[in-house]
A and B are shown apart, each in its own frame.
Chain A
Amino acid sequence: MINGNLKADYSADERILNNRNKQFFVYGSMFFLTLFPVFADDYAVLMACKMGILLIAVIGVNVLTGYTGLISLGHGAFIAIGAYSTVIFSNLFDGLPTGILPFVVVPLAISVSAIIGIIVGLPSLRVKGLYLAVATLAASFIVKFLIEQDLFSPWTGGIVGIDTPVPNILGWELDTKREMYVLITVLAICTMLAAQNLFRTRVGRAFIAIRDRDYSAEILGISLLRYKLMSFAISAGYCGLSGALGAYFYARILPDQFGLNLSLELVAALIVGGMGRTLGPFFGVIIIMLVPELIKISMSSATGGSLDWARYTAPVQEIVFGLLLVFFLLKEPLGINQITDRMLRAINRWPFARG
């Protein structure tokens, strides 16, 4: 209900940014992201890179959990598969020119993740809800277990981890965090757009249909088998890409980085941000990464950074963060996206009724 927002043809109405306010918000954010590395210090760029990597994975989990309604507690495993595949394939295809290596390795890593995602998704045809969550939980443990085995350590480095290659895109060596920031940001925007595109076509609509009412979806000709597995493949593929970027970003990867904590973090970010919403992962990742950081900074300045206090502040940070999450979920069960929706609605209707 925005004044002057009339559409004269269907293509204008089918746009993602179908009104001025959305355009303003999205283009404004992109402008900010472009200028960010110019002004930010090294630590802020580092945090932004970490957030971008997590964001891509959470977008993937959003496709599966938010839109298709299948809960997974094992997606940390796909990030691990993406990361380790990148390292293993990079070593394997040593002979290729380094400039084109990422173009071979990353798609391969994504494909491996997606294929294993389909296998892990097979139980979803029989079990739903919490039972599926438990079934996917197993994936998280099995993958970590396999990586840690001595048998595979020539490829995976075993429990002590393995050094990762420096990415080189057509001769451009991304050896600083600022360069990685550019790559990660571009990919994060592209993947977010791709995920949004999905829900403008029959594929994404089929996912939502399965989430909302599976028997009704079947009656409309949607094969549950095909689309549930497709959803698993997409989300695992996104996590695979996230893992590949992680491998390029960190100098060394360890099995412990990809434990149950990571899987839970993905789901937590999604719930806080807003499930089944485009920008949900975006807001969720900001909260889950920045709030602990802010708590840490404010605590250390409150205690004057003294070491005597450090052993108390560390657990208190976790407790405060946990309480904040509970508070958020009580006040905004549909996530931060709900707050921004309300604000956008108020702006759209201004100067008329709010609501």
Chain B
Amino acid sequence: MLSVSDLHLSFGGIKALRGVNFEAKKGEITGVIGPNGAGKTSLFNAISGFYTPHKGRIHFNNADITGISPDKRASLGMARTFQNIALFRGMTVLDNIKLGGHTRLNTGLFSALKYFGSARKEELELRRDIEERVIDFLEIDHIRKYPITMLSYGLQKRVELARALAMRPSVLLLDEPVAGMNREETADMARFILDVQEQYGTTILLVEHDMHMVMDICSHIVVLNFGQQIASGTPTEVAKNPAVIEAYLGVAA
């Protein structure tokens, strides 16, 4: 579904990624873990198109997407959330989620100025789709008219997931979906992620520091350290891997 082969990325002398190789299988949840500064977010930025890798390729649905711009990747069916919530703070929850439908709509400038006719039909269709498929699904009906600034951190994260879901993605990249959340919020989010996978068969790639959650919901885990891929496999395999234990805990002298 989404595969990364021999990915290298550097900023001047800093080598952020040094030969990352993995595949996120269709309909599965793949986790990317690693200590701070391991290159997880750099990897995400390369996959979503903000950084151009020095070497290596990124394939999505059997097509090479290495060189194309982020907005084109979105129309191919790639959605993502950010570590530090990147919602549009000047808009309501509903408008934020509607933006997820951007690539599926066709309204041009002149029909937008006129509104009545095709634009109105399309907007109402989008509204219905979002209400039924996203807002109801993620249980955020009560806040749909609220401005983003009025929401708690946990709810903002959920709205960001909602916006990504409104894109009807085939691959969903989640950058630390439960960072800074309490146990209850984490459990909620984990449940929503599993629901998304189950109901829509979305391929999910997630970066996360919460080991309990990663081990619980991922079927495949990739471990990065200093830009290098040090392990890859099922949660149990990875947890036993000596290189991973060393990276996380250090080894007694």
Contact = CB atoms under 8 A, between A and B. Distances in A.
Tell whether A and B belong to one assembly: yes
B75 interface: yes
B69 interface: yes
Nearest to B108: A203
Given A200-B115, A218-B49, 15 more contacts: A14-B127, A194-B113, A197-B114, A200-B123, A201-B115, A201-B119, A201-B122, A202-B105, A208-B88, A209-B99, A215-B86, A216-B88, A221-B72, A221-B74, A223-B69
Contacts of A206: 99, 102
A194 B50 CA distance: 34
Contact of A230 (B74, B89, B109, B128): B109
Contacts of A223: 69, 71
Contacts of A178: none
A218 B71 contact: yes
A321 to B, nearest CB: 30
Tell me whether chain A's interface is mostly helix, strand or loop, or mixed. Answer: helix
A162 to B, nearest CB: 31
Given A216-B82, A216-B88, A221-B71, A204 B124 contact: no
29 contacts: A10-B127, A14-B127, A197-B113, A197-B114, A197-B119, A200-B119, A201-B122, A202-B99, A202-B101, A203-B109, A203-B112, A205-B99, A206-B99, A209-B91, A211-B90, A213-B87, A215-B50, A215-B70, A216-B88, A218-B71, A219-B79, A219-B80, A220-B71, A220-B99, A221-B74, A223-B71, A224-B71, A233-B109, A276-B90
Q: Identify the 5 closest CB pairs spanning chains A and B, nearest first.
A: A221-B74, A197-B115, A221-B103, A212-B88, A216-B86
Nearest to A10: B127
A198 interface: yes
A87 interface: no
A67 to B, nearest CB: 9
A11 interface: yes
A205 B98 contact: yes
B107 A201 contact: yes
Nearest to B90: A212
Tell me whether chain B's interface is mostly helix, strand or loop, or mixed. Answer: helix
Contacts of A218: 49, 69-71, 74
Interface in B181-207: none
A90 B101 CA distance: 44
A234 interface: yes
A222 interface: yes
A211 B90 CA distance: 9
A276 B115 CA distance: 19
Interface string B11-39: 00000000000000000000000000000
B8 interface: no
B53 interface: no
Contacts of A10: 124, 127-128, 131
Interface string B165-186: 0010000000000000000000
B90 A222 contact: no
